[in-house]
Chains A and B, each alone.
Chain A
């Protein structure tokens, strides 16, 4: 069965699609956790299982279970494959709810700039949502979507002493496009930033304020993600405040999803992530194929 394009959950699905690759990374003394909403600039061997998203739109409730596996080919070049299963429950009791797999997504990312001293990183990514591979009942489109993007990350550890308490701040971001291979949808710009305040960084490098575990392992985050259609349509987006707990081998994160306008949605949603650092769990197995 084919869903009419106008259903708002079609727009909502972008919320789940937009963060297909979660990566964590260490550069200089900075540990960047895997962020939940936007993809971050690192390549790593890692597994996100599961990611969970739930949000109520004006026409339907959507729940998404996702998984993603990432593998380094070289230390700076990584491949990822992500899949998701969607439950769509229309608010209109006369409409049937449905569920099914969304389209899987393949992506490749290459880190072309790293500065340990400035805790800075730049990467180029390219994603391919494989049209028709998922199920219509899960909201999968029949066409593919390509998504080239530039990713950046910057820790503020190089701030002067007078601003030492801002050194735990880090910013990551993405600036990219989504190109649906169809005449029915316009191309879109996708862009976002994630602000992090790393309590581990505060304790380890700035000031030991005496936080015990697990508080010393928490990283509060706010992620903003926007999408602007290039045909003049309205920008949609979400603000996603949350918290990440980063252990040595796994991290757990949870965020609220707050739509920025009625075009995006009216209700606050939630997303959560359990993420395994495979390169740290089994470093002899999960390492770059070519050094």
Chain B
């Protein structure tokens, strides 16, 4: 029951819902689609950066990423940022890494206000 609502409101609301369904892939909780280095990967060379592509646009001011070694020491360059050209891409530079296991932790705010967080590891293998 909608008192005083213009008759057009309902079709407009429905159209808005449908539009959200079709275009809305940029909305909602943001989860990663892929990463470099890849989740759980073993890499041979020290990567210059960690980059994560999300499935939705991020709020740059509230999106964070850090990388730590197995002792918990930060090895990133503390320059995490959302790519201005691609608001789904979050990255951070890395200092030269020694062989070992590294943990990437991220916490992002999607543009709709939903926060998500996660972590993964990758391993740098030394020369054989």
On A, residues with C-beta under 8 Å from B are: 26, 28-29, 31, 116, 164, 200, 203-208, 248-250, 277, 280-284
Contact = CB atoms under 8 A, between A and B. Distances in A.
B28 A277 contact: yes
B91 interface: no
Interface residues of B, number: 27
A250 B27 CA distance: 12
B55 interface: yes
A43 B108 CA distance: 22
7 contacts: A28-B117, A204-B118, A205-B120, A207-B39, A249-B21, A249-B25, A281-B21
B68 interface: no
Nearest to B20: A281
Shortest Cβ-Cβ A-B pairs, 4 listed: A207-B40, A280-B28, A208-B39, A29-B118
A208 B35 CA distance: 9
A284 B113 CA distance: 9
A250 B39 CA distance: 26
Nearest to B26: A248
Interface of B: 16-17, 20-21, 24-25, 27-29, 31-32, 34-35, 38-41, 55-56, 112-114, 116-120
A116 B31 CA distance: 16
Given A204-B118, A248-B28, A248-B29, A283 B113 contact: yes
A248 B24 contact: yes
A208 B38 CA distance: 6
Contacts of A207: 39-40
Nearest to B38: A208
Contacts of A31: 29, 31
Contacts of B118: 29, 204-205
A250 B18 CA distance: 12
A281 B119 contact: no
A29 B31 CA distance: 9
B24 A281 contact: yes
A26 B39 CA distance: 20
Contacts of A208: 34-35, 38-41
Given A29-B119, A204-B31, A248 B56 contact: yes
A280 B35 contact: no
Contacts of B55: 248
Residue in A26, A31, A277, A280 whose Cβ sees the most chain B Cβ within 10 Å: A280
A203 B117 contact: no
A64 to B, nearest CB: 26
Contact of B29 (A26, A205, A206): A26
Contact of B116 (A29, A277, A283, A284): A29
A116 to B, nearest CB: 8
B50 to A, nearest CB: 13
B114 A283 contact: yes
A3 B118 CA distance: 54
A26 B27 contact: no
B32 A283 contact: no
A26 B30 CA distance: 11
B118 to A, nearest CB: 4
A248 B113 CA distance: 15
B119 A205 contact: yes
Nearest to A204: B32
A116 B107 CA distance: 13
Residue in B31, B34, B56 whose Cβ sees the most chain A Cβ within 10 Å: B31
